[in-house]
Amino acid sequence: MKITMLEPLGVKEEKIMEMAKRFTDAGHEFVFCGEPIKTEEEKAERAKDADVLIIANSPLTSNVINAAENLKMISVGFTGVDHVDLEACEKKGIRVCNAQGYATDSTGEMTVALMLACLRNVVPYDKVVREGGTMHGFQHNTLKGKTIGIVGTGAIGRKVGELTKAFGCRLLGYDVVENQAALDLGIEYKTLEEVFAESDIVTMHAPLLDSTRNLANEKTIGLMKKTGILINCARGPLVDSQALADALNEGRIAKAGIDVYEMEPPIPAEHPLLNAKNVILTPHVAFYSEESLEHRVGIVCDNITAWMDGNPINVKL
């Protein structure tokens, strides 16, 4: 079989080829990709004779999928699969597996980092010192004792709960199904409206579905405390960016920390959050630790091995 990477996975070639040795030793062809492919046409050309494709989070359209006449399996080096045309995959009987769990620790830690950066004025303090200023006029807050509202209590949401519980926080949660592991952690399930209204910090960890798009909207953000903080390290469209920018600019909530957007960075100059007050913006890096990227290569390869053995894992389609 021919196994083709369609985009880089953020790990050096020698490390990836070491992990892929199981395939080449078994007589399969493994095609490494070290640079982003710029056009859909180039993707289609590269994919056309592949049996298995490896992707991360760049879009995989029906044009590319249909051009790959031999394609039988896609191993997605990412948690979400909304960037893959699953309808086209289903029509062709293509198995799709994701890298569930590869960035749980990394994303959970980044979420808490943004909470702390907002509470402790880390970014403004850096600017003050560089401009010759002092602590005069500044004061910050602790994470201890805060109520954390976790929207989406899957693995990453629970990791954030575990980390913030260690700080002495109260945990609230919203999800369509109550999770026993979340309950065991001490998360109190509430309605979405209650989570936004009662929390000091609301953090988004739901998957992107039609039903979760704009969960943080004008109405729900409007329920937040004036001192409230909104964090999003999940998927950009979970949050209505204009509604969030308006709430920040009008002082209806205090701060926000945002790592994801409606598009991959660079985000356009007219994006409302670029000119919003009291928001820390990072370029979709919550998952992007050295440790998590190596872990996902392992999961991507394990997915392919399990599929070849007839026992697919991490199945999304």
Active site residues: 235, 264, 284
The tokens for 161 are 């709960």
> Which residues, other chains included, contact 7 with Cβ-Cβ below 8 Å and sequence gap of 6+?
33, 36, 37, 55, 56, 58
Whether 163 and 112 have beta carbons less than 8 Å apart is answered as yes
Angle at 107 between CA 105 and CA 109, to 5 degrees: 65
- Residue corresponding to tokens 């980390």: 163
Whether 314 and 303 have beta carbons less than 8 Å apart is answered as yes
Q: Whose CA is closest to 203, among 157, 169, 155, 140? A: 157
Q: What are phi and psi of 5, to 5 degrees?
A: -80, 130
DSSP state at residue 11: S
DSSP state at residue 60: B
> Which residues, other chains included, contact 155 with Cβ-Cβ below 8 Å and sequence gap of 6+?
100, 101, 104
Q: How far apart are CA 42 and CA 48, in angstroms?
A: 10
Q: Whose CA is closest to 248, among 257, 259, 236? A: 257
User: What letters, b where the CB count within 10 A reaches 16 and e where it falls short, cover 212-229?
Assistant: beebbbeebbebbbeebb
